[in-house]
A = this chain, B = another copy of it.
Amino acid sequence: MSEPLRVAIAGLGTVGAGVIRLLDANGELIARRAGRPIEVVAVSARDRSKDRGVDIDRFDWVDDPTALARHPGADVVVELVGGADGPALALARAALDAGKSFVTANKAMIAHHGFSLAEAAEKADVALKFEAAVAGGIPVIKGLREGAAANAITRVYGILNGTCNYILSKMESDGSDFDAVLSEAQALGYAEADPSFDIDGVDAAHKLSILASLSFGTRPAFDDVATGGVRHVVAADIAEAAALGYRVRLVGMAEADAGGLFQRVHPYLVPLRHPLAHVSDSINAVVAEGNYVGRLFFQGAGAGDGPTASAVVADLIDIARGEFGPAYAMPVESLTAQPVADSGERRGRAYVRLMVQDRVGVLAEIAAAMRDAGVSIESLIQRGAAADGSVMVVIVTHEGPERCVAQALEKLSGSPSLTGAPMWMYILGE
């Protein structure tokens, strides 16, 4: 057996403690698979004395996480501190500059700074790995980087935020409204006190931009993700979707073609025949469509200390084996900068929900706005009045350019007939 791979860990929250627990529990098996043992040699966290359920006295303690980059006994630095910038980024730069491989679960940092970190890793000829940054324990980075490497990937999309999926699933099963389920999720610890990163789609957008770059060989472009969340989905939307044969899911969707790079996080209606429709609770899932392999589907736990630790240690095993290449599957200089695709030219079907006054002529006004914008209506459902006297109108469009629906809604949104802002979702094809 060769020399151990020596690891320094910054951040000992649930994931950091989980990594130590995993290496303790499966250490012998991991050494057989990796060809050598993986040993933690040093750790850093805010509070040394906190009880984490694992013995950390056997490791070097370092107060300043950035100092781990200079730890003479460490081959690899694992960053589990979090945050797009600050100490996490300082540590990443310092570790790579010091010629140490670097493993992280930090999606925000990779979404914002992955490209420059990959440059630094290439320069130092060390590994930069971030399997745990996307979809938790699911080996989807590996699946795209290596498993699907023979393919031109035409589309990558999925359910990338467990909190949103938990909320939507719970609304579906209980018929509850968004706010009630969110409060419950916060009480159970499934949602943060400030949930906006999750429910407004930012977290999913971080992950989507990483998947897009890996899939298409494009430069990471987080700022170009059109990001929407689930705040405006109400129980009645989910019920209408169910009646139409769909489930509502927050989907991150990316495509690259001659028109540029398209990246969007938005609620979608997913048909029951599509595997994403059956992804419930806090589970994550990713679909990749390749020009030879067809549709690949990966599903698993998107968060939690065990699954995240599993992904972090899988990266360490690759490093121990010496089996790692460029962070984005190809050298950074090969990654192409793509213009943002014009989403208005995308064709698809849409679900539109309007709350309107219950009076003569309103339906005619809606129908005229749709017609004027060139939207062809597949079905229109009007339900009886709500408590405030307004009426819910749900429209499902035929396939057409997204631009037309946007135009129709823009026109309608100024109308006094509407009692609230229009809400719309895209409909995923089978």
> Hey, which bits of chain A sit against chain B, CB under 8 A?
18, 22, 25-26, 29-30, 32-35, 131, 137-139, 142-143, 146-152, 217, 275, 278, 285, 290-301, 304, 306-307, 309-314, 316-318, 321-325, 329-331, 334
| A292 close to B146 (CB less than 8 A) | no
Contact of A149 among B291, B299, B314 (CB under 8 A): B314
| A306 close to B318 (CB less than 8 A) | no
Within 8 Å CB of A143, what residues of B? 139, 142-143, 147
| B296 close to A309 (CB less than 8 A) | no
Within 8 Å CB of A312, what residues of B? 150
| A325 close to B314 (CB less than 8 A) | no
Within 8 Å CB of A299, what residues of B? 275, 296-299
Contact of A152 among B26, B321, B329 (CB under 8 A): B26
Protomer copies: 2
Contact of A217 among B32, B295, B310 (CB under 8 A): B32
Within 8 Å CB of A317, what residues of B? 146, 149-150
Contact of A321 among B33, B150, B311, B325 (CB under 8 A): B325
Within 8 Å CB of A151, what residues of B? 26, 310
| A152 close to B295 (CB less than 8 A) | no
Q: How far in angstroms is the closest Cβ of chain B from A418?
A: 38
Q: How far in angstroms is the closest Cβ of chain B from A183?
A: 26
Q: How far in angstroms is the closest Cβ of chain B from A217?
A: 7
| A310 close to B142 (CB less than 8 A) | no
Q: How far is the CA of A278 from the CA of B278 in the complex (A)?
A: 8
Q: How far is the CA of A296 from the CA of B311 in the complex (A)?
A: 12
| A292 close to B307 (CB less than 8 A) | yes
Within 8 Å CB of A324, what residues of B? 323
| A290 close to B310 (CB less than 8 A) | yes
Within 8 Å CB of A278, what residues of B? 275, 278
